[in-house]
Amino acid sequence: MKKILVTGGLGYIGAHTVVELVNHGYEPVIVDDLSNTSLNVLDGIQAITGQAITFYQNDVRDLNAITKILRDNQIEAVIHFAAFKAVGESVQQPLKYYDNNIGGLVNLLKAMQTTQVKNIVFSSSCTVYGEPDVSPVNESSPIKKANSPYGNTKQIGEEILADCQFLNTVALRYFNPIGAHKSALIGELPLGVPNNLVPYITQTAAGIREKLTVFGQDYNTKDGTCVRDYIHVTDLAIAHVKSLDYIKNHPDNKFEVYNIGTGNGMTVLEILQAFEQVNDLKLNYSIGPRRAGDVEKVWADASKAKNILGWTAQLDLNEMVRSAWAWQQNLPKNAI
């Protein structure tokens, strides 16, 4: 198994995964509609890997295009990232999320079935656990009602994949990826105003945003702010490579899920403080009201990934916030 289609491969996690695929001997083919990224990311990937990467600008909802790409490139497996991912926006625009995240997945699977590609690694999320009763959560923890349409699209996506018996699926339930590649040539750069914490931190530190708002300080946590399991994006990228290796060695696997996190819960304020300390600067931030769709606290039990995939997180919080700031500083001033 060598040629891998990466949908959303110019996105934040997708780009880092493409780099790790090349590093581990796979041949990635990227499909991205550029709805939340730019072609500059391809330049960064190619600069890091020293290789030309095949790229198609297409929407995964275009059945004919995706079918042709799978067939023409003799694709053997798919890593499916292409999806909208902003929790708050999904509450405001649920149909946008169902159309893209569910419609895109169904369309991709139709194309895979037509071309007899049966191996897929799915970008799922810890949001499938909803508001958990206890943390850490493991893969047997209850799947509760999602707190947002975004989270619901990931729940539904997993159900669709489990129902498709022709597939050999690994679904990775990500926790909160942050940081950037050690080269500072690729990192998290959403178009417009960021919805995720760390790019908002780095843009505030760079003077692009006036200040950062922390959404809520009245949660039942150590400092009143939400708790998440923050993981370096490079560690997350490597988890996809480990998943492909597993699929290759277990061709009759039907559907497996794995938590991908560090196992450590950190509050929003702890992330802000670590960023300030490691990078020796002060952030302008204030406390605002809670944000719709946010879960109070969730972090991972990732022992299943360690025991079966042979994967564990290697990079610590200091490296996460250091690399995120190095990436921001390396950006041209007009990149936002």
Q: What pLDDT shows up at residue 292?
A: 83
3-state secondary structure 209-241: CCCEEEECCCCCCCCCCCEECEEEHHHHHHHHH
In a domain, 336, yes or no: no
Q: What pLDDT shows up at residue 255?
A: 96
DSSP assignments along 153-194, one per residue: HHHHHHHHHHH-TT-EEEEEEE-EEE---TTSSS----SSS-
In a domain, 335, yes or no: no
Q: Angle at Cα 85 formed by Cα 167 and Cα 273, nearest 5°? A: 125
β-partners of residue 171 are 122, 257
Per the structure block, which two tokens stand in for 212? 């950062």
Q: What pLDDT shows up at residue 236?
A: 98
What is the C-alpha to C-alpha distance for residues 333 and 11, in angstroms, rounded to an integer? 20
Q: Quick check: 122 and 255 in contact, CB under 8 A?
A: no
What is the C-alpha to C-alpha distance for residues 47 and 139, in angstroms, rounded to an integer? 37
Per the structure block, which two tokens stand in for 176? 């909160």
Which 8-state DSSP code applies to residue 73?
A: T
C-alpha distances (whole Å) from 183 to each of 280, 286, 293 are 20, 32, 34
In a domain, 97, yes or no: yes
CATH number for the domain spanning 14: value is 3.40.50.720
pLDDT in tens, the chain (336 residues): 799 999 999 999 999 999 999 999 999 999 999 999 999 999 999 999 999 999 999 999 999 999 999 999 999 999 999 999 988 899 999 999 999 999 999 999 999 999 999 999 999 999 999 889 999 999 999 999 888 999 999 999 999 999 999 999 999 999 999 999 999 999 998 778 888 899 999 999 999 999 999 999 999 999 999 999 999 999 999 999 999 999 999 988 899 999 999 999 999 999 999 999 999 999 999 999 998 888 899 999 999 999 999 999 999 999 999 999 999 999 875 454
Domain of residue 275 covers 3-329
Closest CA to 108 of 85, 127, 80, 136: 80
Closest CA to 121 of 184, 180, 76: 76
**Tally of structural domains, the chain:** 1
Q: What pLDDT shows up at residue 333?
A: 58
Catalytic residues: 150
**267-292 burial string, b = 16+ CB within 10 Å, else e?**
bbbbbbebbbebbeeebebeeeeebe
Please report, as a single letter, which amino acid is at residue 324.
A
Closest CA to 334 of 40, 48, 86: 40
In a domain, 62, yes or no: yes
In a domain, 225, yes or no: yes
What is the C-alpha to C-alpha distance for residues 160 and 297, in angstroms, rounded to an integer? 27
Give the three-state DSSP class for 270. helix
Q: What pLDDT shows up at residue 193?
A: 84
Q: Per-residue pLDDT tens for 14-26?
A: 999 999 999 999 9
In a domain, 95, yes or no: yes
> With 0-12 CB in 10 A as exposed, 13-18 as middle and 19+ as buried, what is 202?
buried
Alpha helices, DSSP H, located in the chain:
12-23, 40-49, 63-72, 87-92, 94-97, 103-115, 149-163, 197-205, 233-249, 268-279, 303-304, 317-330
Sign of the CA dihedral running 198, 189, 50, 184: negative
What is the C-alpha to C-alpha distance for residues 184 and 296, in angstroms, rounded to an integer? 32
In a domain, 334, yes or no: no
C-alpha distances (whole Å) from 256 to each of 116, 170, 235, 313, 324 are 20, 5, 19, 19, 31
In a domain, 199, yes or no: yes
Closest CA to 172 of 80, 84, 36: 80
What is the C-alpha to C-alpha distance for residues 88 and 267, in angstroms, rounded to an integer? 19
What is the C-alpha to C-alpha distance for residues 218 and 232, in angstroms, rounded to an integer? 27
